Amino acid sequence: MQVRTFIGANAYACITVPGRSLDVLLSPGKSASASLRESAAEMQEQAARLIARAELIAQAADVITP
């Protein structure tokens, strides 16, 4: 994994692994690692909410499927 930071009008971290790259906006006033950890926690919370919704939808499908 390679992580590079770019600072201009906004600061970004560019994360590169074989076959994939991801740019993450960094929060001003925080270190790059603190900002990345915060972004990861926010995404994990969003993912947990989406998984809960998906499970509820799947359960509803089971209820209405004969």
- Interval 20-64: pLDDT, tens: 999 999 999 999 999 999 999 999 999 999 999 999 999 999 999
- The pLDDT score that the predictor gives to residue 53 is 98
Find the domain containing 19 and state its range: 2-64
Looking at the structure of the chain, the number of domains it has is 1
Coil vs helix vs strand at 66: coil
pLDDT exceeds cutoff 90 at 6: yes
Q: What is the pTM of this model?
A: 0.82
- The pLDDT score that the predictor gives to residue 65 is 74
